[in-house]
């Protein structure tokens, strides 16, 4: 199955591409809006700051093609910064507009635990995925993922969906705080964690994306 990965000058393209190929995908990297429009499956990767990511998309005239692709109903996966840019806006180093595909804001991960103790930011390392109350992972990219499965994260900011029950797919606990680890709206899914760096569990998620 063909998977198109967006190249906008920011992102861990090599590791994402290798993981997708390992899972059986034929991968195309592109910054061409015409190729994005024709993609059967689309991945928006990314690392770094929200403003830089959106600037990279705007400079290559990719924001509107991504929005049109999302409206087509075909599968779209955002990873790390790519997940954050699916949201409405971010307050990382100022106020910045996102793609607005899943209503919500990107806010700082709390720098103190729920008991008031300072802890490390960015949040780096392996953490177990938890299903929010009332949320089922059946028929989603996490359908083969048991609750508690550890995945790899590197981030200082995270999405807070406006409609938590509808769009919040998975959380992880950090210092007692429930941090949003995955979001979903129809054909659009975002993973704050890096499936390409999350071992066998991450590869299972990518296989579901490819097969879906």
Catalogue the active-site residues: 80, 194, 196
| Count of C-beta atoms within a 10 Å radius of residue 125 | 11
For residue 162 the two structure tokens come to 């406006």
Q: Token match 């900011």: residue?
A: 157
Sort strands 2-6 and 42-44 into parallel, antiparallel or unpaired: parallel
Contacts by residues 56-63 (CB-CB < 8 Å, ≥ 24 positions apart): 56/8, 56/9, 56/10, 57/8, 57/85, 57/99, 59/8, 59/9, 60/8, 60/9, 60/31, 61/33, 62/6, 62/8, 62/31, 62/33, 62/36, 63/99
The two tokens of residue 132 are 């929010």
DSSP run (H or E) holding 33 = helix 33-38
């Amino acid at each position: 199955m063909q998977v198109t990965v967006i190249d906008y000058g920011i992102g861990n393209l090599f590791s994402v591409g290798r993981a997708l190929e390992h899972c059986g995908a034929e991968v195309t990297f592109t910054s061409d809006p015409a190729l994005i429009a024709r993609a059967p499956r689309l991945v928006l990767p990314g690392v770094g700051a929200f403003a830089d990511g959106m600037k990279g998309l705007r400079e290559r005239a990719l924001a509107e093609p991504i929005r049109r692709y999302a409206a087509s109903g075909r599968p779209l996966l955002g990873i790390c910064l790519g997940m954050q840019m699916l949201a409405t806006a971010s307050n990382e180093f100022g106020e910045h507009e996102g793609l607005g595909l899943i209503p919500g804001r990107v806010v700082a991960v709390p720098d103190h635990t729920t008991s008031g103790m300072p802890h490390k930011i960015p949040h780096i390392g392996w953490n177990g995925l938890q299903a929010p109350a009332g949320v089922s992972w059946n028929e989603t990219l996490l359908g083969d993922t048991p609750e508690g499965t550890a995945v790899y994260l590197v981030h200082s900011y995270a999405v807070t969906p406006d409609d938590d029950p509808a769009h919040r797919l998975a959380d992880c606990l950090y210092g007692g705080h429930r941090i949003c680890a995955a979001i979903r709206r129809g054909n659009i899914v975002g993973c704050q964690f890096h499936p390409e760096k999350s071992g066998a569990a991450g590869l299972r998620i990518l296989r579901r994306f490819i097969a879906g």
